[in-house]
Amino acid sequence: MTKDTSNQMWGGRFAAGPDAIMEAINASIGYDQRMAAQDIAGSRAHAAMLAKSGIITDSDAKAIREGLLTVLSEIEGGRFEFSTALEDIHMNVEARLKALIGEPAGRLHTGRSRNDQVATDFKLWVRDQLDAAMGGVRALMQALLTQAEAGADWVMPGFTHLQTAQPVTWGHHMMAYVEMFGRDLSRFEDARKRMNESPLGAAALAGTSFPIDRHMTAEALGFDRPAANSLDAVSDRDFALEFLAASSICAMHLSRFAEELVIWSSAQFRFVTLSDRFSTGSSIMPQKKNPDAAELIRAKIGRIFGANTALLMVMKGLPLAYSKDMQEDKEQVFDAADNLMLALAAMEGMVKDMTANRESLEAAAGSGFSTATDLADWLVRALNMPFRDAHHVTGSLVAMAESRSCDLPDLTLEDMQSVHAAITADVFEVLGVHNSVASRVSFGGTAPEQVRAQVARWKGVVG
């Protein structure tokens, strides 16, 4: 298509076409063609409403709707020739529609502007991505629940500062991520509810004098209601920012888990074995099995964070209503959505395929004086000792064990009584890691019975 065609689309205001630089900086068709399906759905709903409101004839509306389906078929079939001269997906579709059906195509834009059109298209696209993200999070949570249920009573070390702290169960650790991703799921759900208002019919910024029915188009497109202020409707990009904000938090959770998988799959830990499907080898070291999928998740997260910051910067200084700056709202959202879905799918695959090495987990669970807190708690319960005193006695026993290169259960009763004479043999009942985790029966604790209860609760939420 030629620059003359572009001028015809703009009308009589411009006598000459844009030069190459202006055309390049002004065009968005290179990326906003991803919204073709949403653009055509919005236009079909708009045409049906115009006919029902008596603004265009039924025959024109029928020609428009059928012509738009032809355009969509051409796009989906890879037969559509996009033109940079026509700037964006909206004008490309309209120009092709005119070529197909002639004069009725010129009536499609009655009662709307590209400002409300692009806001509608973008909202529909982001809404689809929110639905996809929720599906991806649910699938990951289901994979985590399977791991948690299988290992509800498997012991492993719990860490603070990446130092051994107290024994926990594998199931409890997996359920920690279920809780994290559950919050992500609720954020996506909440964002979807808030953004589900239709901008269509807000026109350029002030509404329109045509007797349009915005409630009809809102309902046709699956929105809860039309947006109540035309100025806000065309200038709002909060829905994209909320999607990016929720995606950033979810991505952060993915990155934290990826980091643990990188550590756990190392030869020094051997807590998990990742499947060959999500690992690679070394070009020079034949023994290597690298957790590349986890590492790439950890790295790709920066693109999502960057997209969030970039769109905030685009929007931070804009007056109402529409400014051309807002054309820069889509590329980073598209990229962030792609990378979030890729990261979710990769993490789900790794979790489904990975094998937790029960023996390695249990061997590590008892190291590093992990039952020291259990000993202190026993001193409080059995001897009625103030906790601070119990903390001091336990610390002395840890120092003794450390000096002998053994663990707390390896000390004799006489060793313990040399630090505090009232200690009895009953203390050894709390020093085993299985006894330790079984005792943590407080709500949300690591005891197997608590883990299984939480698994059952979350299964009822995500299926």
Nearest-10 crossing angle of helices 58-76, 36-52: 170
Q: Judging by beta carbons within 10 Å of its beta carbon (0-12, 13-18, 19+), is residue 90 exposed, middle or buried?
A: buried
Q: Could you give the CA distance from residue 252 to residue 88 in angstroms, rounded to a whole number?
A: 33
Whether 175 has a pLDDT exceeding 90, the answer reads yes
In order, the DSSP letters of 35-65 are GHHHHHHHHHHHHHHHHHTTSS-HHHHHHHH
pLDDT recorded at residue 431: 83
Nearest-10 crossing angle of helices 170-195, 448-462: 30
Q: Could you give the CA distance from residue 206 to residue 403 in angstroms, rounded to a whole number?
A: 79
Q: Judging by beta carbons within 10 Å of its beta carbon (0-12, 13-18, 19+), is residue 71 exposed, middle or buried?
A: buried
Q: Could you give the CA distance from residue 226 to residue 218 in angstroms, rounded to a whole number?
A: 6
Query: With bands split at pLDDT 50, 70 and 90, how would you rate the model's confidence at 331?
Result: very high
Domains in the chain: boundaries: 20-110, 115-363, 367-462
Q: What is the pLDDT of residues 433-460, one digit of tens each?
A: 898 899 889 999 999 999 999 999 999 9
pTM score above 0.75: yes
CATH topology of domain 367-462: Ribonucleotide Reductase Protein R1; domain 1 (1.10.40)
Q: What is the pLDDT of residues 266-275, one digit of tens each?
A: 989 999 999 8
Catalytic residue among 161, 283, 403, 442: 161
The reply to whether 46 belongs to the active site is no
CATH homologous superfamily of 115-363 equals Fumarase/aspartase (Central domain) (1.20.200.10)
Whether 55 has a pLDDT exceeding 50, the answer reads yes
Q: What is the pLDDT of residues 337-348, one digit of tens each?
A: 999 999 999 999
The single-letter DSSP state of residue 421 is T
Q: Could you give the CA distance from residue 327 to residue 115 in angstroms, rounded to a whole number?
A: 10
**Of residues 365, 341, 357, 351, the one with CA closest to residue 177:** 351
Residue where the block lists tokens 């903390």: 391
Residue 335 near residue 303, CB atoms below 8 Å: yes
Bridge partner residues of 280 (DSSP): 290
User: What's the start-to-end Cα distance of the chain, in Å?
Assistant: 51
Q: Do the domains at 20-110 and 367-462 have one common CATH topology? A: no
Q: How, if at all, do strands 225-226 and 197-198 pair?
A: parallel
Catalytic residue among 59, 282, 323, 367: 282
For residue 275, give the amino acid letter.
Answer: S
Q: What is the pLDDT of residues 110-157, one digit of tens each?
A: 999 999 999 999 999 999 999 999 999 999 999 999 999 999 999 999
Residue 174 near residue 154, CB atoms below 8 Å: no
* 27 prior amide bond cis, ω within 30: no
Structure tokens belonging to residue 451: 């883990």
To the nearest whole number, what is the mean pLDDT of the chain? 91
Burial profile 272-306: b = 16 or more Cβ within 10 angstroms, e = fewer: bbbeeebbeeeeeeeeeeebebbebbbebbebbbe
The reply to whether 282 belongs to the active site is yes
SS3 116: helix
* CATH architecture of residue range(s) 20-110: Orthogonal Bundle (1.10)
Query: With bands split at pLDDT 50, 70 and 90, how would you rate the model's confidence at 394?
Result: very high
Q: How, if at all, do strands 163-169 and 155-160 pair?
A: antiparallel
Q: Could you give the CA distance from residue 463 to residue 169 in angstroms, rounded to a whole number?
A: 23
Computed over its alpha carbons, how large is the radius of gyration of the chain? 31
pLDDT recorded at residue 429: 82
Query: With bands split at pLDDT 50, 70 and 90, how would you rate the model's confidence at 287?
Result: low
